[in-house]
Amino acid sequence: MKKLIAGAGAVAAALLATPATTPAMAQGKTITLCWAAWDPANALVELSKDFTAKSGVNMKFEFVPWPNFADRMLNELNSKGKLCDLIIGDSQWIGGSAENGHYVKLNEFFDKNGIKMSDFMSATVTGYSEWPKGTPNYWALPAMGDALGWTYRKDWFARPDLQAAFKAKYNRDLAAPKTQSELKDIAEFFQGREIDGKKVYGAAIFTERGSEGITMGVNNALYPFGFEYQDPKKPYAMDGFVNSADAIKGLEFYKALYKCCTPPGYTDAYMQEGLDAFKSGQVAMQMNWFAFFPGLAKDEKVGGDRIGFFVNPGEKTKGSQLGGQGLSVVAYSNNKNEALEYIKWFAQPDVQKKWWSLGGYSAAKSVLEDPNFPKTAPFAGDFLVAMGQVKDFWAEPSYAQLLLAMQKRVHDYVVADRGTAKEALDALIADWKKVFKDDGKL
């Protein structure tokens, strides 16, 4: 899921400072693709030059900074605007966009052109393409795979003095954690420690209240502890699942991690704040989306041999928060044929391979299941593991109300220190029941 989110800062500013279109050809139609302003969007501009060269269709791009992306694009869709022929929209938009007629249903087109959803990672098909979930009704092609993962200061972890001190305290080597409990031990070990004359902190995690930040962060802890949104056998039956004993432990864990091991004043932090904390050498570990890892790996101060990556650790089970988006044709476009041609082109294995090489995150099995894939980037193997264990937030048409309710309940508990974890989750169930009752689903 991404995103109603806060801050892509410098990336967005850089994109807005330069033209967002490729050079126009002398002849041919022009179609507009709408997405968020961030590094993968730059990669898509470069990739799409091949489509123009092959098809003669010019590409124009409308990239909106993440803090404004959802409002801008959902307003465009709700007003039946014609700005976007193609849109790479959040996974959470699928339900509303399908039921409100914003997206073109792609089943017939896929069948006619030999595009098989079985050629893409199943989690991305469910997350980005299907509505209703679990049915073969497709409204998008998986376009940008993503999940929440972690970076760490590999150079710090390798220091003999820190290795010795950690082993003396925990009786194990200082290494990337395999469980949430181990992650907290490492965060506590680094919290307030002095490294190279500078005080550092354990971990940068998500606490942002205004959009989706703390929900994404909390989910990354809830899933490994065994949280479920509903009874698998009875849709929308949440009692005993959302507020299970395991879910309570997961929420308590996230609060404990926040209280013990984050930088001072870290009460409203999301992606950009985490990137800043890690790049500035403030934290030993950082939770963030894999989409940012190519840039971090190349960073002059913390990249290269200084950075390491790991999948969100398990606990009782395994789980990572799904990010990423699907590529859809906007129903109000006057250029549907050309937009569909772009999807057909984008789905090709050779295009998907180049997409990954340029910095996009392919969801195609032809890319991800290649035996050499884990060697293509220092984080590639971890990304592959993460995409095999992802879970996602509700994709209901009323997802915004569901999301805002969770933002409030978990922020009040984790950051504002109000009530207990059980009280927060009980209240969340009550909030969600009201939404589903209003929707006629309860």
CA count, 13 A, side-chain hemisphere, 43: 21
Specify the amino acid at residue 205.
Answer: I
The pLDDT, as a whole number, for residue 67 is: 83
Tell me what pLDDT residue 415 has. 98
The amino acid that residue 400 corresponds to is A
Q: Which value, to the nearest 10 degrees, does the dihedral of the CA atoms of residues 279, 288, 329, 64 take?
A: -40
Helix segments in 376-420, DSSP class H: 380-387, 399-414
* CATH, domain 9-146+323-387, list 3.40.50.10490, 3.40.50.1820, 3.40.640.10, 3.40.190.10: 3.40.190.10
pTM over 0.85: yes
State residue 11's pLDDT score. 35
DSSP notation for 135-171: SS-BS-EEEEEEEEEEEEEHHHHT-HHHHHHHHHHHS
Residues 319-338 pLDDT 10s = 999 999 999 999 999 999 99
* Domain regions of the chain by residue span: 9-146+323-387, 148-321
Can you give the pLDDT at residue 372?
96
- Each residue's pLDDT expressed in tens, for the chain with a length of 442 residues: 554 433 333 333 333 333 333 333 335 899 999 999 999 999 999 999 999 999 999 999 999 998 899 999 999 999 999 999 999 999 999 999 999 999 999 999 999 999 999 999 999 999 999 999 999 999 999 999 999 999 999 999 999 999 999 999 999 999 999 999 999 999 999 999 999 999 999 999 999 999 999 999 999 999 999 999 999 999 999 999 999 999 999 999 999 999 999 999 999 999 999 999 999 999 999 999 999 999 999 999 999 999 999 999 999 999 999 999 999 999 999 999 999 999 999 999 999 999 999 999 999 999 999 999 999 999 999 999 999 999 999 999 999 999 999 999 999 999 999 999 999 999 999 999 999 999 999 9
Q: At what angle do helices 421-438 and 399-414 cross, to 10 degrees?
A: 170
What pLDDT score was predicted for residue 2?
A: 53
Q: What is the pLDDT of residue 16?
A: 35
User: 69 and 41 in contact (C-beta within 8 Å)?
Assistant: no
H-type alpha helices, 282-398: 293-297, 336-346, 349-358, 365-368, 380-387
- pLDDT at position 1 is 54
Q: What pLDDT, on the 0 to 100 scale, is given for residue 66?
A: 87
Domains 9-146+323-387 and 148-321 belong to one CATH topology: yes
CA distances from 161 to 154, 158, 164, 166, 184 (A): 14, 9, 5, 9, 20
Domain 148-321: CATH class, spelled out: alpha beta
Taking residue 419's Cβ as centre, other Cβ atoms within 10 Å add up to: 13
What is d(CA 86, CA 83) in angstroms, rounded to the nearest whole number?
9
Q: How far is CA 140 from the centre of its chain?
A: 17
